[in-house]
Amino acid sequence: MNALDWHIMMGTPFVLRLLTGLSRPKVRVRGRDLSGIVEECGSAVTRWKPGDQVFGTASGTFAELVATTESSLSAKPKEVTFEAAASVPVAGVTALQAIRDHGHLQPGQRTIVYGAGGGVGTMAVQLARSLGGHVTAVTSTDKVDLLGSLGAETVIDYSKADFADGPERYDLFIDIGADRKLRDCLRVLSREGTYVGVGSPPEAGMVSTLAGLIGQKLTSAFVPQRLASFVAKPNQADLDLLGKLMSSKNLQPVIGHRFPLAETAAAIDLLRTGHPRGKVIVDVSEEDS
């Protein structure tokens, strides 16, 4: 389960409707992530066969059976559970592309992850560490110990301290949720640093979203730091890499909440309002228990 699921349901930010449907979602069933067993393959498929254990993306994955393309899947590592693998595709690819492709993190650089306790954040911390970064995580009180166990060298509890008031300067700022003013984020970046925005606040409407994008574009012309925002694009190569990182235990998905398929609505509500710890998943197999 990902923030995109409820963003599509709520139609926020409004610009998302241009892609997913103006008055209602074009696809009725939510869900993008999956992990399961291949049931059947088309005649042109060469990489997979029935019985293969896979993880990846599809449209409408809150279901017992889904159809997807050959290149949208990767082999699930044998030592990784289905639920762990299912929690990785969108959040893992988002974190990877934010840090590697847009943040251009180099070994030894200092990285701060704001909003580190959720699905993307917990993966961003681990991926930054695996790429050789020194990681500071900003999160809520109940997730401080978790982030430390995932490799963050410094963890800031935002209820007790403000990262913007600290003396530390960072080479890369990963801003998950974008609910802090941009000037606060730039204040702690080095002159050669990079800011990468991931996602938007839950209450973001069309005006605030466009204003934020325009403001970022204008700001980039007057500051020495590099500013970037992006939409993640899942692909097989990145899924394969994430699978290898899970297999080597350099990426350990954090699953904070599990729901059976019949309680998907409650799972979405928790994701939207509850600031869950790590990932929220829907387990179809629980329907049989």
- Helix, strand or coil, per DSSP, at residue 47: coil
Domain with CATH 3.90.180.10 in the chain: 3-89+234-288
Q: Is the peptide bond between 13 and the residue preceding it cis, with omega within 30 degrees of 0?
A: yes
For residue 99, the 8-state DSSP code is I
Section 252-279 average pLDDT: 91
Q: Quick one: fold of 95-229? A: Rossmann fold (3.40.50)
pLDDT for residue 24: 78
Using a pLDDT cut of 70, give the percent of the chain over it. Answer: 88
pLDDT at 203 over 60: no
CA dist 38 and 54 (Å) reads: 7
* Stronger pLDDT, 19 or 8, i.e. the higher one: 8
Domain with CATH 3.40.50.720 in the chain: 95-229
pLDDT at 238 over 70: yes
- Helix, strand or coil, per DSSP, at residue 148: helix
pLDDT for residue 288: 47
CA dist 128 and 196 (Å) reads: 13
Section 257-271 average pLDDT: 92
17: left (phi over 0), alpha (psi -120 to 50) or beta: alpha
For 56-92, the pLDDT digits (tens) are 999 999 999 999 999 999 999 999 999 999 999 999 9
CA 259 to chain centre: 19
The amino acid occupying position 151 is G
Cβ–Cβ contacts within 10 Å for residue 217, how many? 11
Q: What is the CATH number of domain 3-89+234-288?
A: 3.90.180.10
Cβ–Cβ contacts within 10 Å for residue 25, how many? 15
Using a pLDDT cut of 90, give the percent of the chain over it. Answer: 72
Tokens (6 digits) for 234: 């899942």
Q: Where are the beta strands (DSSP E) in 23-104?
A: 33-37, 53-57, 73-75
Q: Which of 2-16, 200-214, 218-232, 252-266 has the highest mean pLDDT?
A: 252-266
| Phi then psi dihedrals of residue 6, to 5 deg | -85, -25
CA dist 21 and 17 (Å) reads: 5
For 88-126, the pLDDT digits (tens) are 999 999 999 999 999 999 999 999 999 999 999 999 999
pLDDT at 10 over 90: no
**CB 122, CB 174: distance < 8 Å:** no
pLDDT for residue 212: 55
Tokens (6 digits) for 86: 């299912």
Tokens (6 digits) for 276: 């869950």
Section 228-239 average pLDDT: 92
The amino acid occupying position 52 is D
pLDDT for residue 12: 67
